[in-house]
Structure 1
Amino acid sequence: MTEITFYGHSTFLLKIGEKEILFDPFISPNDLASEIDIESINPDYILVTHGHEDHVADVESIAKRSGAMVVANYEVATWFSKKGIENYHPMNHGGSKSFDFGKVKYVNAIHSSTLPDGTPGGNPGGFVVKTDSVCFYFAGDTALTYDMKLIGKQFEVDFAFFPIGDNFTMDIHDALEAANFVGTKTIIGMHYNTFPYIEIDIEAAKKAAEKSGIALILLNIGEKITFDPHRWEK
C-alpha cells in the first residue's frame, strides 16, 4: 500500500514500502500549513519538479537534517549541491533512474523555473514513479500538453497529481483532459487556494470532475490517505 500525506500547496509525502518520498516541500513559508511540524518530516528522498520558491523553500533544511537524497533536474540538483547538500541525483527530460523504492522518469512540463536567488533553474518537469505496487504521475506545475499522451502509452497510471489552480498552471478542466491523456480515473489536486492568484471554486471543480467521470481527491492540509490497487482509504 501507498500512504499519501498532504502538507499544503504541492507538497506531498508518499510512503512506499519502508521508504518516504517528499515532493516539492513548501511548508514553513506557507501560512496555511502553520500547524505542520516540519521537524517531524524525515524523508529518504526529496523530489523537486522545478526551482520556484513555492516548490523548493524547505528542501535545504529538510535534506540537511534528514540526509534525504535530492532528486531534480541537473540545474536544480547542482544548485543545492553548492549549498552543501552532498546526497543528490541530477536528472533531465526523458531520463529514468531506478532507486530502492522504484523507478523514476523525469518528464516534460510546460512552465518556467527560476531559483529563489535568481539562478536559472533549467527546464521544469514532472515525475512518473513506478514501483512494484503502484504507478503514479506527479505533474508539477504545468500546462496541458500533448506529451502527456506518451505517458499514457508507456505506463498504466493508477493516479496523478495535477495542479488545478489556473493562472500559473492548468485549471480543473485541463487537468481532467490530462487525466484522459495519461489514462487515469483518479486525480489528486494541488497548487490551488494557497495564494489569491490561484483561488478556485472548489464545488465547481468537484462538479466538473463528477460530470467527467474522474475522481477528484482534494485533501486537507495534514490529511493522510492510503492507496492500494483496489481502494482508497482515509
Structure 2
Amino acid sequence: MEIQWLGHSAFEIISDKGLKFLIDPFISNNPSTNIAVEEIDVDYILLTHGHSDHFGDTLEIANRTGATTIAIHELALFVSQQGFNTISMNIGGSISVSGVKITMLEAIHSSSIDFIEEPISGGSAASFLIETEDGTKIFHAGDTGLFSDMETVIGALYKPDIALIPIGGKFTMGPFEGALATMWISPKKVIPMHYNTFPVIEQDTNIFSNFVKQFNPNIDVIVLNSGETFKY
C-alpha cells in the first residue's frame, strides 16, 4: 500500500491491489504541489468537506477519469447535479468498494460549497477511515479541531494503523493539538498535513514531532515533502 502526499490535505492512496483513492484533490491552485492535475488517474475521489481548498479539482478529475466521488449527502448531491457519479454517505456509515471498506467519521469544522457565486451548504465536515484489502486502516482526519471522540471512538473502536493529521492552526488543530489527537488515536504511524500551504498556516513539523514523541514515543512520525510517497 502506498500513500502519496500531494500537498495541503490532498493524498493519493494506492491499495495493494492497485485501487486508487484521491482525498481532497486541491491540485491546480495548490502552491505546495508541483503535480499537474492532468497527471492524476484515480478510481475514487473522497471529499471531507466542501471548501475550495479541499473540493479543488474534483469535477475536472471526475470528468477526465470517470472516477466516482464519495462524500457526505449534501456534497455528493452537488457533484451528482454536475453530471458525475457519486456515492452518498453520512457520518457513522460504511461502504465497501472493490474490497476496500470506507467509513465516514466525525470532524469538527464548518463546511460550505464556497467556490460558487452563491455559496450553499456542503453538509457536515467529515473524516474518513479507509481499510484496505489486507486490513490496513488509514484515518484521514480532514479539517478538524480536537474532540474527545478521537480517543473514545476513533482510537478505541476503529484503531487506525496510520493517521493523517492537520497541524496548520488557525483553521484546524495546531502542532500541540495535533500531537494530542495523535496520542488519543494511537496509530503506528502519523503523517502531518494541512500546513505550510499558505503563510497563515506555516508550521515547524519538528514541533509536532517532538510533542508526539513526548506523548507516545512508540508512534512514528512520517514527515513527507509534497509529492513524496510512503510505502507501508
Q: TM-score, normalised by structure 2?
A: 0.92
The corresponding residue for 1:42 is 41
Give, in whole Å, the separation in 1 of the partners of 2:24 and 2:89.
Answer: 16
Alignment of 1:1-234 (within 5 A): 2-16=1-15, 17-33=17-33, 35-85=34-84, 87-115=85-113, 116-117=115-116, 118-133=119-134, 134-148=136-150, 149-212=152-215, 213=217, 214-227=219-232
Give, in whole Å, the separation in 2 of the partners of 1:60 and 1:101.
Answer: 25
Q: Secondary structure at the match of 1:166?
A: coil
* Runs ≥4 residues deviating over 6 A: none
Q: TM-score, normalised by structure 1?
A: 0.91
Structure 1 177/95 Cα, relative in aligned 2: closer, same or farther at 3 Å? same
Give, in whole Å, the separation in 1 of the partners of 2:177 and 2:56.
Answer: 27
The corresponding residue for 1:231 is none
Task: Report Cα offsets for 1:25-84 as digits up to 9, x if no partner.
Answer: 001001222x21221211000000000000011000001101111000001111111112
Give, in whole Å, the separation in 2 of the partners of 1:131 and 1:225.
Answer: 15
Once the 2 structures are TM-superposed, how far is the Cα of residue 205 of structure 1 from its aligned partner?
2.4
Q: Which moved more, 1:10-19 or 1:145-154?
A: 145-154
Give, in whole Å, the separation in 1 of the partners of 2:205 and 2:66.
Answer: 37
Task: Report Cα offsets for 1:8-37 as digits up to 9, x if no partner.
Answer: 10000000022000000001001222x212
Task: Structure 2 unaligned segments of length 5 or more: list them.
Answer: none
What letter matches 1:12 in structure 2? F
Contact 2:180 2:212 in 1 (8 A): no
Once the 2 structures are TM-superposed, how far is the Cα of residue 215 of structure 1 from its aligned partner?
2.1
What letter matches 1:102 in structure 2? V
Once the 2 structures are TM-superposed, how far is the Cα of residue 96 of structure 1 from its aligned partner?
0.8
Q: Which moved more, 1:196-205 or 1:4-13?
A: 196-205
Contact 2:112 2:121 in 1 (8 A): yes
Contact 1:19 1:101 in 2 (8 A): no
Contact 1:138 1:160 in 2 (8 A): yes
Q: Which moved more, 1:118-127 or 1:97-106?
A: 97-106
Contact 1:179 1:186 in 2 (8 A): no
Kindly report the root-mean-square deviation, in angstroms, between the aligned alpha carbons of the 2 structures.
Answer: 1.3
Contact 2:168 2:203 in 1 (8 A): yes
Contact 1:179 1:185 in 2 (8 A): no
What letter matches 2:22 in structure 1? L
* Identity %, equivalent residues: 40
Structure 1 100/165 Cα, relative in aligned 2: closer, same or farther at 3 Å? same
What letter matches 1:63 in structure 2? A
Contact 2:182 2:212 in 1 (8 A): no
Once the 2 structures are TM-superposed, how far is the Cα of residue 187 of structure 1 from its aligned partner?
1.0
Once the 2 structures are TM-superposed, how far is the Cα of residue 129 of structure 1 from its aligned partner?
1.3
Give, in whole Å, the separation in 2 of the partners of 1:202 and 1:125.
Answer: 24
